[in-house]
Structure 1
Amino acid sequence: MNPTVVLVHGAMHTPWIFDPLRERLTALGIASRAVQLPSSNPDSAAAKGLTEDVAQVRAEIQGVEGPVVLAAHSYGGVPATWAAAEEDRVTELVYIAAFALEVGVSMREWMGGDFPPTWIQSADGLAVKAGDAEQSIFSGVDPVLTAEAVKRLNWQGMRAFTEKLGAAPTDVPLTYVVATEDPALPPALQEQWAARAAHSLRVPSGHSPHLSHADEVAALLAQAVARAER
């Protein structure tokens, strides 16, 4: 079976965010699918947590025939890390400016216990949303695409940040895409995570390289697929 790229979006996003990247993968003859994480929801009360996200990523992997290249952006790196530890069909884990946390650490702990001051909390206290997404998440992205992406942002469930990472793979090769101009996730930290990876790529991008540098990210995923085929 040919490998499939399974894409995991970041906090507040939907699978739509990967449409430009998936178009390029299709043009390269590569099958892909994108997960909708339960932690991201237009209704703050319905937004779930990390454990539900992991279950959804695992279900997506199990729904694929053949090997899987699992690629995740930002927060999506957390459920993807856990899922890759549980699913032996994953041949490579690709972090796209994504969090590669240690087991036992939560996003909230990594953030120092607090959210960025520009984030908005829902009235029910169950979810958060970035208030400065144009600058923090979509810097360097085409303005028309940015406007559409901001319009589509959801609430992100609080438990996505408070639940701790339960597992990480020990035998799955890692690839890291470092966004060298990322205002949201410090590039120096991304470099630390990239140093542990078997393969890495640096792009002069803000926090969304899959949007601003979709060709380069697609080419990197094509290389991961080629390795899976071997």
Structure 2
Amino acid sequence: MNPTVVLVHGAMHTPWIFDPLRERLTARGIASYAVQLPSSAPDSAAARGLTDDVAVLRAAVESVDGPVVLAAHSYGGVPATWVAAEAAQVAGLVHIAAFALQAGTSMLEWMGGDFPPTWIRSADGLAVKAGDAEQSIFSGVDPTLTAEAVERLNWQGMRAFTEKLGAAPADVPLTYIVATEDPALPPAVQEQWAERAAHSVRIPSGHSPHLSHTAEVTDAVAQAVARAVTGG
């Protein structure tokens, strides 16, 4: 049985962001499912944290009949890493310009204790949102698609950044997709994480290669699925 690809979006996103990638995966006979993380919500007061994301993602993985390859973008790499460490169904992990934190570390600690100056804090202090998403998150993406993506951005719960990663897998093969022109997550940092991965791919894109270079990301995810089948 081919693994199902469970897609994990980044901060402030919704599963919609993976529609172009899912269309290409379907065309190649690969089943996929995109999870809505509760840390991302239209209402800042409703935006939850990392542990909530992990619970929802774990339940999504357990609902799949058969093995799973987790493919995560940006912040999504944090809950995906935790679930990969604890769910026996996970046969592979793909990080798409994603955070590969060490267990015991929080996003905010990794960020040096503060958010980028262009980010906006909600009035209730419970969430944040990127104020420069066109340049930081969606650089290199088609302008029409960028406009829709920005319009769909949610608030991201503060606890997604302050809660620490509880576990990281020791034996789940990781494929790291380095976005070599990423203005949001430094490519040099991505390269360091890619050095620890079992496999790595480099794509000349900004922070959202699944939107700007969908074919290349599809190839990388499909290869991770094939390796999960063969154990390679």
Quote the residue 2:94 is aligned against: 94
Answer yes or no: is 1:219 the counterpart of 2:213: no
Answer yes or no: is 1:75 the counterpart of 2:104: no
Q: For 1:47, give the aligned amino acid.
A: A
Distance 1:42 1:193 in 2: 31
1:22-37 counterparts in 2 under 5 A? 22-37=22-37
Quote the residue 2:50 is aligned against: 50
SS in structure 1 at match of 2:184 = coil
SS in structure 2 at match of 1:26 = helix
Answer yes or no: is 1:169 the counterpart of 2:169: yes
Unaligned runs of 5+ in 2: none
Distance 1:3 1:175 in 2: 15
Answer yes or no: is 1:109 the counterpart of 2:98: no
Distance 1:104 1:228 in 2: 28
Quote the residue 2:160 is aligned against: 160
Distance 1:182 1:204 in 2: 8
Quote the residue 2:137 is aligned against: 137
Q: What TM-score comes out, normalization by structure 2 length?
A: 0.98
Distance 2:216 2:27 in 1: 14
Distance 2:80 2:163 in 1: 14
CA shift, 1:2, in A, is 2.2
SS in structure 2 at match of 1:92 = strand
Q: Give percent identity, aligned residues only.
A: 83
Q: For 1:44, give the aligned amino acid.
A: S
Distance 1:114 1:3 in 2: 38
| Alignment: residue pair count | 230
SS in structure 2 at match of 1:112 = coil
RMSD value over aligned CA atoms? 0.5
Unaligned runs of 5+ in 1: none
Quote the residue 2:197 is aligned against: 197
CA shift, 1:204, in A, is 0.4
SS in structure 1 at match of 2:156 = strand
Answer yes or no: is 1:228 the counterpart of 2:221: no
Q: For 1:91, give the aligned amino acid.
A: A
Q: For 1:103, give the aligned amino acid.
A: A
**Per-residue deviation, residues 13-37 of structure 1 (Å, max 9, x unmatched):** 0000000000000011100000100
Distance 1:184 1:166 in 2: 24
Q: For 1:3, give the aligned amino acid.
A: P
Answer yes or no: is 1:84 the counterpart of 2:65: no
Quote the residue 2:64 is aligned against: 64
**Per-residue deviation, residues 176-223 of structure 1 (Å, max 9, x unmatched):** 000000000000000000001111100000000110111001011111
Distance 2:27 2:118 in 1: 38
